[in-house]
Structure formats: structure tokens, C-alpha cells
Chains A and B, each alone.
Chain A
Amino acid sequence: MKAVCWMSTGKMAVHDVPDPQIVNPHDAVLRITSTAICGSDLHLYDGYIPTMESGDVVGHEFMGIVEEVGPEVTNLKRGDRVVVPFTISCGNCFFCKKRLWSLCDNSNPNAQIAETMYGYSGSALFGYSHLYGGYAGGQAQYARVPFANVGPLKIENDLPDEKVLFLSDIFPTGYMAAENANIQPGDTVAVWGCGPVGLFAIASAYMMGAERVIAIDRFPERMRLARDYCGATTIDYTDNDVVVVEALRDLTGGMGPDCCIDAVGMEAHSNTLVGMYDKVKQAMRMETDRPFVLRQAIQAIRKGGTLSIPGVYGGAIDKVNFGAAFGKAIHMGMGQTHMHNYMEPLLKRIEGGEIDPSFLISHRVGIEEVPDMYKIWRDKQDQVTKIVIDPWQDRLGQPLAA
């Protein structure tokens, strides 16, 4: 089959690799019909997630048709159409039973690496480094899905792939971000980053009763989606007259936002001196993450507010004003998304017409174009907001063999 492989920092390539096989009794193999590039894939592309190796198949947002199931798979059969969560969960351990699916004890074959780095290992993820399990990802024509009784969500309507594909990660991730922000009806919410997760966090914040959402970004096309589709007020942080913390104070009657959401994570951009400092340290590998947004959110949030962090952090961060977090008694919520809690309820919202997640798609491409798309996606060229991939299409939109 054809698959997108990480070859080295800044280099993705499409290779012919062996088709995946059923290995364990609870496995399924999917023929992938649609997949996408996630913002977090850029952390792989830019080389900030350790334990990536040349040849690793990437991609963790995918859906498709069940091709084959293992002997213990009871709720799926060949021909079923499913969306797959990006986290792999066994369904039986202490954490899965507590519905903390992304903290599953039993899915990561390389748990020892995560234990060394983090103390304990979370669940495995598709196509996201050996630290997170080393499972081949879904930017490919087929994928093996472990614990298929637990993860995949059956799609039994005729909604097109584009409307349900984002149940694989970004819609639930944006939704859990809003949930982690503990939004009360009438609250004002600030969201850093108008990428896909930020946009879904804005939409979800309104679903939870937020009165107003303020979004911070620098790309006109993203801020336009945030305003026009999601109803946010936008702040362009690259505007010379804007100081984000002051802008948020001005917009909230001097109190600061009740809830802040960092939908940016470890590769934050900033045009300030501190932003440059992070960039240099990260480039020299003296710091794994550039926590600029985290610092700003801690500064901006109102006293006793809740800070939610869906943006990915990988390791040690520097110069975070923890005193401010303590002094203002703020709450924090974070972590990989507990996907299985949100997929079905959010599918119902899509079916009910409450939201059409396809609003943010800007590019539809065949698999051979994906390596070029990574560059466009990283450099935010061509007004890109979301790239969806048909793994069975070539560069000209013609059908592709396996």
C-alpha cells in the first residue's frame, strides 16, 4: 500500500510499504477512505517529538471501511463504515473504566520509553512516535486498528466523510478543551490559536453557554472563520498596537477572561523578545517547547479562572510564571483527548445539523501531494485551514492502485 512516511525533520515521503495484517485477536484492518493532516503532525514534521524514526507511517485522523476483523472483534464486521479515534484504548484497565481513555494502561507496547520520560505511560496513539507506541498511522491506504471493539465509531448514516472525519481527533479535542475550561453560562472565554482545534473549541464554548469568545491568532483566513463561522471576536497579535494581555483586559471590563484555552502548544509564535528567546533555545534543543501562549494565558486569565490546554507539550518548559498561576489561584486542565467520551454525542450534534465540521476544509488532495502539503501547512501558505486526503487519488485526482 501507499503510505506517508516521516523520513527526517522536515521531510515526509510517500512509500510503498507492506499492507497491515491482523496481529492480535481484537484487531481490525481498515481500508481508509479519508484522512487528514493534524496541527500536531507539524510537531513531528518539525522534529520536536522524540523517538520518531525514518520510515514511520504518520497520520492519526482517519476513517474507512472495515476490511477484516480478528477473531475476538464482536461489534464490527467487514464492510462497516467507521471513524477511528486517534488514541488507542483497551477498554478494560482502571483508566478506561474511569473513562480516562487517553491514559489507557495496556495499549502502548513501548510504555517503558514513556515511563522513562513521564513517570507513567499514557495510551498509544496512531502514527505519533515510538514513545506513543510506534503504531503505523492513517495517512495511508490501510491501517491496523487494535482494540477494535472499543475505539471505532460506526457511521450508519449517509453523511459524507468530510462531515464526520473530524470526530477522529480535532472536534472532540476542541470540545474537551472547552469542557476542561469549566465554562459556566455567561462566561467570557479566550482561545489562543484559530487552527482546527481552536475553532472547534470556540464553537464548543458557545454550545456550553459562553456569552462571548475572544480568539487570538495572526492569519486573516483563520480569524475570518473564527468570526464568521464560530462567532468569536478576534485579536491579531501581530498588530503593532496590540498587547494581548491588555486587549483581553480591555475586552473583559478589566477582569480578564473567565476561561482561557491554549490551542497552540509547544510551537507558539511570538513577535516579542521572549518569543525570540524561546525560538533560539528550542532550535538549540535547550528547551523542547516554546510555551509563549501558556505564559500569556496565565498572565491574562482572571483570578480563580480555569486554563485549559489542548495544545500539545512534549517536555521541559522554561520561564513560566508559576507564581502568577498560584497567586491567582487558577485551575488547569490538560491532556490528550478522552476521545471515546465525545465521539458519539458529537456525531449526534452533526446528524442534528447543529454543526457541520467540514466548514474549515481548505484543501482536498491525493496522497502523493501530502509531502508538499506538510510544507504548506507548516508555513500557513495558500490560506490553508485544513487539509483532507483521499489516499486512493493521485496528483491529478485519478484513482490510484494500492
Chain B
Amino acid sequence: MPEHVSRLDSGLPPFPAGAGKGAIFSPLPQDTTGGQMRAHTVQTIDADAQTLYKLWRDVSLAPRWMEYVVSAEPKSENVTHWVIGDPDEPKGMRIEYDTELVEDVPGEKISWRSIGDKIEEAGEVTFSKATNGRGTVVVLTESAKIPGGKLGMAVAAISKRSPRQIVIEDLRHFKQLAETGEIPNVCCNPHGPRGVSGEFKSRLYGENNPTPPGTSDLP
């Protein structure tokens, strides 16, 4: 676990512990108290670990499958500059920060943490062989301090998705893109008049979530 994650989470157990025979399952803590978010999500993806590692490692592709990423520019081999915000709202709020790689084990693991104190964010993604020829188990763990603390969390949850759900959706988009070459999208769906409550609720239904565009020309 990268140092930054350890600091935020004070001693996460390895995950998924208990996957082997005769072991005891120990869950990861997953909560969003005090403006701090810890989230993990797991998907089995029908592709080999190397392919998935390469897709994840190419950070310039991140805006195509990660939600609320306007751009991700590699500044050097290990440092990436992120612009976070709603790509559909050019004049909306933007958060910019840098992350650096902490660990990079091809085909197995990538972990990162933010640089500077503007935003505290750290994460790790692991790739391991799934049982029964089902491809690769991908585990994504992220922790972050959300700007604005509890209030910021609440606003984030009401306006579009909760930050924790974004982590879950990001890995889902990654799987969709890796398995099908696209990300299902209903943002441009034709519909009749929504009415007042429908207009509000359609946000919850993903219709107004900025679904990343996906790509068909995978590396």
C-alpha cells in the first residue's frame, strides 16, 4: 500500500484477503465520513492482465473512460497532471493537481498518490488472474479528502454522483471499454417533456452524468 494511502487509512489489510482456501475474509473499510472517502470496487474482466495493465497505464486515455476527468497529461514518466471537472460544462468548476506513481509492476499493480496539499488523493489498482479462465480480477482502491469536507461530499452527491460511486463506475467503464470497445451511453437519448421532478431525477438516472466517450481504437 502506498504511504499516502496508509496515512489516510491507517493500516488497510491486503485485499482480497480470504481468497485462498481455508482463509478468513477480511473486508476493506469503506466509508465517507468527515469529508474523507475510502472506496474499493472489484470487477472480473474478460481479458489478460497485461492488456488491462497497458490500457490503465496509458493515462492520456483516462478521459475516455474515467468520469469527471477533463484531461490527464503525462508530465514525465511518473508524474501526471489531472484536470477534474464536468467535461460537459466548460465553465464549471475545475480541480487541477498532479499525481506521481508510487509502484508500477507491469501486469500486476499500479499505485499513485497526489503531490502537494491542494488535494489529497491516493489509489491502487491490482490485476490478478481470475479463477476458471474468466480473465483478470481487477481491484481498484481509492482514498481522497474531498474539498469542502462534509458539505462538499453532500453537494457532490446531490449534483451528480457520490464520489464513491464514481470510483465504482470508473472501474465498470474500464471493464465495458476493455470487453466491448465502447461505454454504454444514454446521455443523448430522445425523450418527451420531463417535467420538473423528472428533470431533477434524470440526473440520478445517469442521463445527465457525463458518460466518458470510450474509444474503439484500443492500444
Q: A residues bordering B, Cβ < 8 Å?
A: 1, 3, 5, 7, 13, 15, 17-21, 23-26, 51, 53-57, 71-72, 90-94, 97, 105-113, 124, 130, 133-136, 140, 144, 146-147
For residue B75, CB closer than 8 A to chain A, the reply is no
Least distance between B182 CB and chain A CB atoms (Å) = 4
Which residues of A are found within 8 Å of B205, using beta-carbon distances?
51, 53, 110, 113, 130, 134
Of the candidates B44, B168, B181, the one having the most CB atoms from chain A within 10 angstroms of its own CB is B181
Given contacts A25-B216, A110-B205, A111-B172, contact A55 B186 (CB under 8 A): no
A18 and B206 contacting across the interface, CB-CB below 8 Å: no
Choose among A5, A93, A136 the residue that contacts B179 (Cβ–Cβ < 8 A).
Answer: A93
A17 and B190 contacting across the interface, CB-CB below 8 Å: yes
A-contacting residues, B111-167, CB 8 Å: 134-135, 165
Least distance between B156 CB and chain A CB atoms (Å) = 15
B181 and A136 contacting across the interface, CB-CB below 8 Å: no
* Interface of chain A: mostly helix, strand, loop or mixed: loop
Least distance between B201 CB and chain A CB atoms (Å) = 6
Least distance between A60 CB and chain B CB atoms (Å) = 14
Of the candidates A13, A53, A55, A146, the one having the most CB atoms from chain B within 10 angstroms of its own CB is A53
Least distance between A122 CB and chain B CB atoms (Å) = 13
Complex Cα–Cα for A19 and B195 (A) = 20
A-contacting residues, B173-198, CB 8 Å: 175-176, 179-195, 197-198
- The number of residue pairs between A and B whose CB atoms lie closer than 8 Å in the complex comes to 121
Choose among A1, A15, A53, A93 the residue that contacts B198 (Cβ–Cβ < 8 A).
Answer: A53
Q: B residues bordering A, Cβ < 8 Å?
A: 44, 46, 134-135, 165, 168-169, 172, 175-176, 179-195, 197-198, 201-202, 205-207, 211, 214, 216
Which residues of A are found within 8 Å of B179, using beta-carbon distances?
90, 92-93, 105-106
B46 and A94 contacting across the interface, CB-CB below 8 Å: yes
B194 and A24 contacting across the interface, CB-CB below 8 Å: no
Which chain B residue has the least Cβ–Cβ distance from A7? B192
Given contacts A55-B192, A92-B46, contact A147 B186 (CB under 8 A): no
Which residues of B are found within 8 Å of A20, using beta-carbon distances?
189-190
Which residues of A are found within 8 Å of B186, using beta-carbon distances?
109-110, 133-135
Complex Cα–Cα for A123 and B190 (A) = 20
A72 and B181 contacting across the interface, CB-CB below 8 Å: yes
A24 and B189 contacting across the interface, CB-CB below 8 Å: no
B191 and A55 contacting across the interface, CB-CB below 8 Å: yes
